Amino acid sequence: MSAIFGIIHKNKKPVDQGTIHRMKVSLAHRAIDGMEIWQDEHVMIGHCKLLMVAIEQQQKMPFVTQDLIISADIRIDNRAYIIQQTGAQNALTDIVLLHHAYLKWGEQCVQHLEGEYAFCIWNRITQQCFIATDHIGFRSLYYYDSPDTFIFCSEQKGIAAVKPGPYQFNEISLMEYYFRQSDPSGTYDADISALCGGNMLILKDNNICIKKYWVPEGGKYSFKRDEEWTGCLKELLFEAVKNRMITDKPIGITLSGGLDSSALTCILSDLLARVNKPLYAFSSVLPDAHTEDEQDEKKYIDIIGKHCPNLVQTYVTAEEYGPFDNIVAAFENDETFPNVFYYMDYAILNAARDKHIGMLYTGYGGDHWVSWKGNPVIRNMINKGRVTDAWKLIKGFSKTEGKGLMEIIKREYLSHTRWRKKKSDEVTAAWLQNGFFNKYKQDLNFDAVKDITSFMCNKIRNGRTGIFPAMLAKRNERFGMQSAVPLFDKHVLEFMIDVPQQLFVRGGYKRSLLRHAMAGIMPPEVLWRHDKGMYSPDYVSRTMKHAGFIQEVITSEKYAIGFKHYLSREGYTGSNDVQDIICTTQGVIASTILSDLHAKGYSFSTIS
């Protein structure tokens, strides 16, 4: 469906054509299959098309009725339920089904919709605007609100192109980049906010009201046997993967050879084989001329390829890309500071576009919860008096890993008994200026996760879970394809709330919940593996080849603005340690982007 956007002048001033033109130009990359506008004096609603199925070919978007104008980036999973409840016809597009749902339930339609969406409904009669995002936040939606104007858009750049200045950099976005801890609704522009997952926004009488319409709750699942839990997870994963196969175009997946992406590959391969279709896999591997100490995941990728007969494999070496190439372009595309492996992400997307992929799956998010390692589980069990059960798990680890019992006890119990709240004055960040870091460090939490359920539920509630999937959706659509992240599916996450935590370490295996769920579906060589390689296997050597550019960023006046306000040159140690190199890469990326924003007229706060 692609992007939606709109402008509402609260002062009833007509939306001029120059403003509309600037917004359209900023979103041209999302108009893969065209762009349409509806306008009525002080209101403009727009839609950029990316067609996934033939039925959408003739659908007029925005969808206009006598009273309502609807623009939606939407995929409805529970079509049968919506059709049964509303009496709508089966052949309708999702945007028309949304219209029927709104007519029946009004703003409460979000309580009945399942799937992924970001939509706007403008009521010409009541002069009210209703926008909403899906429960998790798979589809991005941003807004700007002032006394005179309300603007919304699937991308920040659409708002930035038309909102009045001055432009102020939101420094909290740097804390998000380095620590993944900040307000999830914040963006790099202080005037633009994200409408996070599970939220609705209503513009009424020139005032906006944001309401949380969904929070994750447990209690839906209860089983007595371990096999019932893993069997249920398997069914939910198959359903989550199947629901996202809504395209007439080829389907692909980023296959790393690890547990999560391999599990989805095997599921997807099976589902596509049933309808005689291929699955295209894209994998990061080392170039032929790599050093002997560098290793990739090709061994495990090839095992999955042999297991899935309809798999069409593409190996991506990204030899033409570097870790510091096109930093500004990546930032403009992602609308956030890109991760240190962005060059590999874009190389894979280019390869997928060459294959005309319409839906690209990813195993992202599995290790957040579905395939969580369960590090504190044994410690938690002992603290609750379940010593016998804990001892069985310890012996299981000793057997499967071939290690002594004392080594397992130290790793699974003793190392976790030293948990404590890290005092704020003990936390340091050598790559950030003390004055800047001190403003926020008291709000940072560096504790190890003790209760995965409460930890993840909090992330879902505040909208953090949807940040990266929403960015992937934006990024992929620039390449003419949609993104599928089934391991963050709402029903899967609801199931995870009720899962007994000992299932994560069942049988002496880390990440054992997903392993046992996929038994018989994945080849055992991958299913029960203990090791895991780096996503971009030659990242370190690639980065070290650019020592000259790194030094230029640190010393050149061209990049001085970041060091003037936020960054510290003392953080660049020249160490070959992987973590130090990652911090160095982040510093170079941040410096380059801040310099570009400064050149574009953004102002920056001054540290006192």
CATH code, 51: 3.60.20.10
Going by their DSSP bridges, the two strands 68-76 and 359-361 should be labelled as unpaired
Is residue 332 within a helix (H) or strand (E), and if so which, with residue range? Answer: helix 327-334
The residue among 527, 551, 574 that closes a domain is 527
Q: Do 495 and 456 lie in a common domain?
A: yes
Would residue 354 count as lying in a domain? yes
Would residue 351 count as lying in a domain? yes
Question: The pTM is what?
Answer: 0.94
Q: Do 506 and 582 lie in a common domain?
A: no
Q: Which domain holds residue 269?
A: 226-370+449-527
Cβ atoms within 10 Å, residue 354: 11
Which residue(s) pair with 281 in the sheet? Answer: 253, 313
Looking at residue 201, its amino acid is L
Which two three-digit tokens encode residue 303?
């095992």
Q: Do 16 and 36 lie in a common domain?
A: yes
Looking at residue 156, its amino acid is Q
The mean pLDDT of 565-571, rounded to a whole number, is 89
What is the distance between the alpha carbons of residues 509 and 578, in angstroms, rounded to a whole number?
27
pLDDT tens-digit map of 482-507: 999 999 999 999 999 999 999 999 99
Would residue 608 count as lying in a domain? no
pLDDT value at residue 418: 63
Q: Do 517 and 561 lie in a common domain?
A: no
Q: Do 508 and 594 lie in a common domain?
A: no
pLDDT value at residue 606: 62
Q: Do 178 and 199 lie in a common domain?
A: yes
Residue 486 DSSP one-character state = G
Report the candidate in 117, 57, 49 with the shortest Cα–Cα distance to residue 82: 117
When divided into structural domains, the chain yields a total of 3
Q: In terms of pLDDT, which residue wins out, 2 or 173?
A: 173
Would residue 405 count as lying in a domain? no
Residue 345, C-beta contacts closer than 8 angstroms, at least 6 positions apart: 339, 475
Which residue carries 């007509």 as its tokens? 14
The mean pLDDT of 361-386, rounded to a whole number, is 94
What is the distance between the alpha carbons of residues 519 and 240, in angstroms, rounded to a whole number?
18
Would residue 544 count as lying in a domain? yes
Q: Do 205 and 245 lie in a common domain?
A: no
CB–CB of 170/184 below 8 Å?
no
pLDDT value at residue 291: 67
The residue among 494, 527, 560 that closes a domain is 527
Q: Is 56 exposed, middle or buried (0-12, 13-18, 19+ CB in 10 A)?
A: middle
Angle between helices 298-307 and 259-273 (to 10 degrees): 20
What is the distance between the alpha carbons of residues 580 and 429, in angstroms, rounded to a whole number?
11
pLDDT value at residue 420: 46
* Most distant pair of Cα atoms in the chain: their distance: 75
The mean pLDDT of 77-88, rounded to a whole number, is 95
Residue 292's pLDDT band (cuts 50, 70, 90): low
pLDDT tens-digit map of 495-545: 999 999 999 999 999 999 999 999 999 999 999 998 888 788 888 888 888
Share of the chain above pLDDT 90, in %: 80
Buried b (16+ CB within 10 A) or exposed e, 396-423: bbbeeeeeeeeebbebbbeebeeeeeee
pLDDT tens-digit map of 33-62: 999 999 998 999 999 999 888 777 778 889
Q: Do 187 and 51 lie in a common domain?
A: yes
Would residue 393 count as lying in a domain? no
pLDDT value at residue 426: 64
Q: Do 497 and 582 lie in a common domain?
A: no
